[in-house]
Structure 1
Amino acid sequence: MYGVVLAAGRGTRMRPLTDRRPKPLLPVGDRSLLERVFDTAVDVVDEFVVVTGYRGEAIRETVGEAYRSHPVHYVEQAEALGTAHAVAQAEPVVDDDFLVLNGDVVVDPSLPRALADADGTAVAATEVSDPRAYGVISTAEDGSLATIVEKPDDPPTTLANVGCYAFEPVVFEYIDRTPESERGEYEITTTIELLLDDGHRIDVAPYEGTWLDVGRPWELLAANELALGDLDGGVENHGTVEEGVHLDGPVVVEAGARVQSGAYVEGPALIRAGAEVGPNAYVRGSTVVGQNAHVGHSVEVKNSVLMADASVGHLSYVGDSVLGRGVNVGAGTNVANLRHDDENVRLQVKGESVDTGRRKLGAIVGGGAKTGINTSINAGVKLGAGETTNPGEVLTRDRLSE
């Protein structure tokens, strides 16, 4: 059985974190989103097929030709023309039953297992309290799929389509027959309707585990919170921890990392290989200090993700934020993460102000950005990849790269 992983999207809702990096390679704990998807399916598939598009070369270079002894093949979706079109790109490689998984969704291993255990074609479904924002599944008397209705105002059930599937190779014939939707794409749910119309049985695989679509920056924070929540309760030290350091578990210090005297690390926290924390720094959960990142003197970092090579050198506060690769935070930079009116923080996503559902959310900073000394950044503000601020600047509006 193959595992076909869809990883071609541009990730515009995740900007500026995706300005220089494809979304499936964004970190969740100690692995990328894509690697976490692989891990959920590695026990039920024999080979992976990754459908790439935006910055696909970075995915190929990072993952390579195998993952945990499973061959990895790559096919390209040169133009984003919908999920059915993406699956169709795998046809030259796939000659057996296969699963379709999303490269930017956090799920449990029980999901691909349930799909793999189904007989032939299957759709994963989960119960939700308000299914109006999803494809809603209705079942026949024998429990098989009857219909999928997209985002109905009056949902017939509370079963939501998770967007993961099991298919047989015959599905490629039906993808060829799939018409273009009103929004100009070829949808896999339309392909499924064609299969049903021709009398094909489609099982509904129930799923009750984690289901987090990591499409927007605050959802990356949520995914990291989930990942760190799985850490064991104690301290796991494989690096260098100097005298005078307090580690309040669960804390993992990877090999090659260094925590200097006077640092206080309050878990759950992950200090990755090559990272330096301290002296006299305060790291609070749930925080990931990425590979070769730096948290220096008199810096406090709370519930944040510092990607590889990011640096917060001294005298700064970063809370509920995501710093992209190679970000440099100038001395005295402070990030606000709470609105004074106690309302949820809002974030601009594709030109629209969106309620994040979070009372605390700081800055989202793209790769290679730099702040001048004594910069102040307001809650929910984005600083684009490669952008800078002036010394003493107060940033209250997004500053994005073109």
Structure 2
Amino acid sequence: MHAVILAAGCGSRMGDETESVPKAFLDVDGRSLYDRQRAVLADRVDDITVVLGYAYETVVDRLDGANAVRFEDWSEYENAESLRLALTGIDDDVLVLNGDIVTTPTAVDRLLDRFAEFDGEYNIVGCLPGIQDEHTAIRTDDDGTVVDYGLISGYRHAGMGVISRRHREAAMELLAANRDEWYPLVYPETPTKRVVIPSTEHLEINRPDDLDAARNRLPLESWTDSQSGNSD
């Protein structure tokens, strides 16, 4: 399993907070988002690639042995192109993490265990609990198979998932044809199952207020299946 962290954007909604560093390298309660993700990935993946673009020079030496992919046209395209660039150099199953989330080892294990259950036949996408229509959403059928993605009612994307090596080439073709879009568009177009990630095991940094909220919530608590009531 190869992890990809998408960290190329400038995080424009963060204002002055990202004046000199990408959002993934912001300090949150003494540690960067990137450092927190690295800790979660420890012993769970064989290699890590980080896609960098904005302020590349300020953080490329902070990767601690991870591979760097430089996305020079980061301001011209969306994260579909970020992921495509990363997949180009990887021949493996890929655990994808948005660079602006914090999650728990248990949440990552839920993704990987679900992926192993299907032996690579399906991709896996992490979703937050509950149906909503305020954000782009993942829609699934009664069996948990993804059937749609977009500005629709459905599960909010949790910023993490697994793309199977079996579906890598199909995913790359879709991403190449939709470089101005967000990468979750690949999920309804390739065989994908959902995993619900408890909200207690997930936070996302989009605006300056989110930093204060994150400091109040960290460290995140890992729940068991029985505690969360999550059966997918």
**Alignment TM class, shorter chain as reference:** 0.7 to 0.9
Q: 2:182 matched to 1:187?
A: yes
Q: CA, structure 1 residues 109+134, in 2 after alignment: closer, same or farther (shift >3 Å)?
A: farther
> Mapping of 1:199-218 within 5 angstroms?
200=191, 202-208=192-198, 209-218=200-209
Q: 2:41 matched to 1:41?
A: yes
Contact 2:20 2:58 in 1 (8 A): no
Aligned to 2:93: 97
Q: CA, structure 1 residues 108+229, in 2 after alignment: closer, same or farther (shift >3 Å)?
A: closer
Contact 2:126 2:161 in 1 (8 A): yes
Contact 2:146 2:187 in 1 (8 A): no
> Mapping of 1:45-60 within 5 angstroms?
45-60=45-60
Letter in structure 1 aligned against 2:209: W
Aligned to 1:76: 70
In proportion to residue count, which structure has more strand? 1
Contact 1:212 1:223 in 2 (8 A): yes
> Mapping of 1:353-372 within 5 angstroms?
none
Shift of residue 180, structure 1, vs aligned partner: 5.3
2:172 pairs, out of 175, 186, 195, with 175
How far apart are the structure 2 equivalents of 1:217 and 1:177? 33
Q: CA, structure 1 residues 178+60, in 2 after alignment: closer, same or farther (shift >3 Å)?
A: closer
Letter in structure 1 aligned against 2:160: C
Shift of residue 58, structure 1, vs aligned partner: 2.1
Q: Alpha-carbon deviations, 1:10-38, whole Å to 9, x = none?
A: 11111212112222111112311111112
How far apart are the structure 2 equivalents of 1:192 and 1:223? 28
Q: Alpha-carbon deviations, 1:81-127, whole Å to 9, x = none?
A: 12221111113431110100011112222222122112331111121
> Mapping of 1:1-400 within 5 angstroms?
1-65=1-65, 72-80=66-74, 81-117=77-113, 118=115, 119=118, 120=120, 121-128=123-130, 131-148=132-149, 150-152=150-152, 155=153, 157=154, 159-169=155-165, 170-178=167-175, 185-195=180-190, 200=191, 202-208=192-198, 209-227=200-218
Letter in structure 2 aligned against 1:222: A
How far apart are the structure 1 equivalents of 2:212 and 2:63? 23
How far apart are the structure 2 equivalents of 1:10 and 1:28? 17
Determine what percentage of the aligned residue pairs are the same residue: 26
Q: Alpha-carbon deviations, 1:182-221, whole Å to 9, x = none?
A: xx713323322332xxxx3x11112113322212111111
TM-score, scaled to structure 2: 0.81
Higher RCO (C-alpha under 8 Å, 6+ residues apart): 2
How far apart are the structure 2 equivalents of 1:145 and 1:217? 32
Contact 1:124 1:163 in 2 (8 A): yes
Q: CA, structure 1 residues 177+138, in 2 after alignment: closer, same or farther (shift >3 Å)?
A: closer
How far apart are the structure 2 equivalents of 1:100 and 1:5? 6
In proportion to residue count, which structure has more helix? 2
SS in 2 for 1:44: coil
How far apart are the structure 1 equivalents of 2:105 and 2:144? 22
Shift of residue 44, structure 1, vs aligned partner: 1.7
SS in 2 for 1:162: strand
Q: Alpha-carbon deviations, 1:248-276, whole Å to 9, x = none?
A: xxxxxxxxxxxxxxxxxxxxxxxxxxxxx
Cα root mean square deviation, aligned: 2.3
Q: Alpha-carbon deviations, 1:276-334, whole Å to 9, x = none?
A: xxxxxxxxxxxxxxxxxxxxxxxxxxxxxxxxxxxxxxxxxxxxxxxxxxxxxxxxxxx
How many residues align? The count is: 211
SS in 1 for 2:133: helix
Contact 1:180 1:186 in 2 (8 A): no
How far apart are the structure 1 equivalents of 2:140 and 2:14? 34
List gaps (5 residues or longer) in structure 2: 222-232
Question: Highest Rg: 1 or 2?
Answer: 1
Letter in structure 2 aligned against 1:185: D
TM-score, scaled to structure 1: 0.48
Q: CA, structure 1 residues 88+229, in 2 after alignment: closer, same or farther (shift >3 Å)?
A: closer
